[in-house]
């Protein structure tokens, strides 16, 4: 199939974009792209490629923008129930951390997810996965973390794998058993940490080896935060996970700076996420490392807070900067990367081009998939979106509606008006 007559084809070619390089869109005016067997096979100008491939079935982009599918490298996709009552409590003045320490918050979603059967969990998560795809996300990461015991943690990860198999959204799972201290371990957090290290991590590895033959291990993430896991607990879990061969991620500096970002950099984590309270030293440590700095602007927005990640400082310091939605029931029930980009431009000063690069090629680096997805380059998996607008700046400028008209996932075409 030859997609042709684009207004702009954004290739995002050349690999992840560090520091001030962020925002190189690789624009081909009147661009075209050849897709065969789910892979991009040629990229160029429409006039040239139409001549070169006269037999190829055509998809006319109608002078609209075409770019790589959006990548969302931080979601908590699989959970049961909702926390609308907590939203109301927060509006009345309670803080997220207050609600969490008084038994609500994550623990309340844990209760709902433990009692949900696998089909109900699957149905609830599937709706959200469909919605993400509808808004142009073609690949996402999905965390566990609403079980805090092995059975439910595995149940969540199984749902993520099932959704990945069903498609079209491609999903990379993360084990987040260290998301909160479960109520069973209320006054003995260190015992929970030891249990995670000695029991859960090896069990997750054994389970993964049984269910998945050819994929590398899932990520292991820790919520390093006041009221969750402190720096030494986070370090122990992450070092144990690393020793078992798991790639690492860290929830760091969301509400309080506990040192999680520097720890992520030091341990060679694939990403450090949130980074609202990160210091200059943390930013420097991330900039020097291979760890992607992932910012989640839907989270402060969802909490009605005014403080966002210091994105400009991160970019100026040379970080590999990416965006993600953080889709979750507590702080940000939003899996829409178009909206995420719109927030990033308004509250963190990104340009539309930077927001696009942070949501495609750099977001793919935050899940270790930069060689497979995130750009339109020969040999890469054919994940792309055709928008209903012709200029890339319309993305982020407009918000609240869906600018995606057509989604191509692994070479297969989906029209958004037939999806929802
Ligand atoms: O990324 N911070 C920890 N995890 C989520 C919130 C999860 C929840 O409240 O259910 C986050 O914001
Ligand atoms: Fe999160």
Q: How far is the CA of 301 from the centre of ligand 2 (A)?
A: 14
pTM of the model: 0.98
Residue spans of the domains in the chain: they are 2-68+375-419, 70-365
Round to whole Å and give the CA distance between 96 and 148: 19
Query: Which ligand sits closest to the CA of 75?
Result: 2
Question: What φ, ψ does residue 276 adopt, rounded to 5°?
Answer: -85, -40
Site to probe by mutation for ligand 1, drawn from 108, 148, 328 as the one with most ligand atoms within 8 Å of Cβ, is 328
DSSP conformational letter for 197:
I
**Element housing 124 (H / E):** helix 118-134
Q: Which of 73, 74, 75, 76 to mutate to test the pocket of ligand 1 (most atoms within 8 A of CB)?
A: 76
- Cα 270 to averaged position of ligand 2 atoms, centre (Å): 15
* Burial class (CB within 10 angstroms; exposed 0-12, middle 13-18, buried 19+) of 347: middle
Do 319 and 19 touch, CB atoms closer than 8 A?
yes
Distance 333 CA to ligand 1 centre (A): 10
What is the 184 CA–ligand 1 centroid distance (Å)?
20
CA of 6 to the centre of ligand 1 (A): 39
Residues in the chain, overall count: 420
Query: Of the ligands numbered here, which is closest to the C-alpha atom of 73?
Result: 2
The reported pLDDT for the residue numbered 212 is 86
Fold adopted by 2-68+375-419: Urease, subunit C; domain 1 (2.30.40)
Q: What is the pLDDT along the chain (420 residues), one digit of tens a residue?
A: 999 999 999 999 999 999 999 999 999 999 999 999 999 999 999 999 999 999 999 999 999 999 999 999 999 999 999 999 999 999 999 999 889 888 899 999 999 999 999 999 999 999 999 999 999 999 999 999 999 999 999 999 999 999 999 999 999 999 999 999 999 999 999 999 999 999 999 999 999 999 986 668 999 999 999 999 999 999 999 999 999 999 999 999 999 999 999 999 999 999 999 999 999 999 999 999 999 999 999 999 999 999 999 999 999 999 999 999 999 999 999 999 999 999 999 999 999 999 999 999 999 999 999 999 999 999 999 999 999 999 999 999 999 999 999 999 999 999 999 986
Nearest-ligand number for the alpha carbon of 305: 1
What does DSSP say about strands 58-68 and 2-10: parallel, antiparallel, or unpaired? Answer: parallel
Q: Which atom of ligand 1 is nearest to the CA of 100?
A: 9
* Host H or E run for residue 386: strand 384-387
**Domain 70-365 falls in which CATH fold?**
TIM Barrel (3.20.20)
Measured distance CA(26)–CA(23) in Å, rounded: 9
Q: Alpha helix locations (H) across 295-397?
A: 298-303, 311-317, 337-348, 352-358, 361-365, 394-397
Residue 118 backbone phi and psi in degrees, to 5: -60, -35
Q: Identify the CA nearest to 190 among candidates 152, 151, 234.
A: 234
Residue 68's beta-bridge partner residues?
384
Nearest CA to ligand 1 atom 3: 223
Query: E strands of 144-201, at which residues?
Result: 170-178
The confidence score (pLDDT) of residue 214 equals: 62
The pairing of beta strand 31-36 with beta strand 137-143: unpaired
Q: What is the pLDDT of residue 299?
A: 98
What are the Cα distances from residue 222, in Å, to 50, 85, 419?
Answer: 50, 26, 35
In this prediction, residue 226 carries a pLDDT of 94
Burial class (CB in 10 A: 0-12, 13-18, 19+), 386: buried
Q: Could you identify the atom of ligand 1 that is nearest to the CA of residue 273?
A: 1
Q: Which residues of 120-133 are buried (b: 16+ CB within 10 A; e: fewer)?
A: ebbebbbebbebbb
Residue identifier of the C-alpha nearest atom 8 of ligand 1? 330
Q: Which residues have CB under 6 Å of ligand 1? A: 76, 105-106, 109, 223, 251, 254, 299, 326, 328-331
Ligand 1 centre to CA of 330 (Å) is 6
* Structure letter (DSSP) for residue 182: -
CA distance 32 to 36: 13
Q: How far is the CA of 43 from the centre of ligand 1 (A)?
A: 40
Helices 106-115, 150-166: axis angle to 10 degrees equals 80
């Amino acid at each position: 199939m030859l997609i042709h007559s684009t207004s702009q084809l954004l290739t995002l070619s050349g690999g992840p974009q560090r520091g001030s390089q962020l925002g190189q869109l690789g624009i081909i005016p009147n661009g075209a792209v050849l897709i065969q067997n789910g892979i991009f096979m040629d990229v160029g100008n429409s006039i040239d490629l139409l001549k070169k491939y006269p037999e190829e079935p055509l998809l006319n982009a109608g002078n609209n923008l075409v770019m790589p599918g959006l990548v969302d490298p931080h979601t908590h996709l699989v959970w049961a129930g909702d926390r609308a009552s907590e939203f109301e409590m927060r509006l009345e003045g309670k803080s997220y951390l207050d609600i969490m320490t008084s038994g609500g918050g994550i623990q309340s979603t844990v209760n709902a997810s433990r009692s949900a059967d696998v089909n109900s969990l699957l149905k609830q998560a599937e709706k959200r996965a469909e919605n993400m795809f509808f808004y142009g996300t073609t690949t996402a990461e999905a965390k566990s973390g609403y079980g805090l015991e092995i059975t439910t943690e595995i149940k969540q990860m199984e749902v993520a794998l099932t959704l990945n198999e069903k498609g079209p959204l491609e999903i990379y799972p993360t084990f987040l058993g260290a998301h909160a201290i479960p109520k069973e371990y209320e006054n003995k957090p260190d015992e929970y940490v030891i249990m995670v290290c000695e029991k859960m991590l090896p069990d997750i590895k054994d389970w993964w080896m049984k269910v998945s033959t050819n994929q590398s291990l899932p990520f292991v993430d820790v919520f390093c935060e006041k009221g969750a896991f402190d720096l030494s607990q986070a370090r122990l879990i992450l070092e144990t996970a690393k020793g078992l061969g798991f790639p690492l991620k860290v929830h760091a500096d969301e509400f309080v700076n506990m040192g999680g970002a520097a720890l992520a950099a030091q341990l060679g984590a694939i990403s450090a996420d949130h980074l609202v309270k990160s210091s200059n030293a943390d930013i420097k440590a991330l900039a020097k490392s291979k760890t992607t700095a992932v910012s989640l602007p839907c989270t402060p927005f969802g909490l009605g807070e005014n403080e966002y990640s210091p994105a400009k400082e991160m970019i100026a310091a040379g970080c590999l900067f990416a965006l993600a939605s953080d889709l979750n029931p507590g702080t940000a029930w939003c899996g829409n990367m178009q909206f995420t980009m719109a927030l990033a431009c308004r509250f963190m000063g990104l340009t539309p081009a930077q927001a696009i690069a942070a949501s495609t090629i750099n977001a793919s680096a935050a899940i270790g998939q930069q060689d497979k997805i995130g750009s339109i380059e020969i040999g890469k998996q054919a994940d792309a979106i055709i928008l209903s607008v012709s200029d890339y700046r319309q993305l982020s400028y407009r918000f609240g509606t869906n600018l995606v008209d057509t989604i191509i996932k692994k070479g297969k075409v989906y029209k958004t008006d037939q999806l929802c």
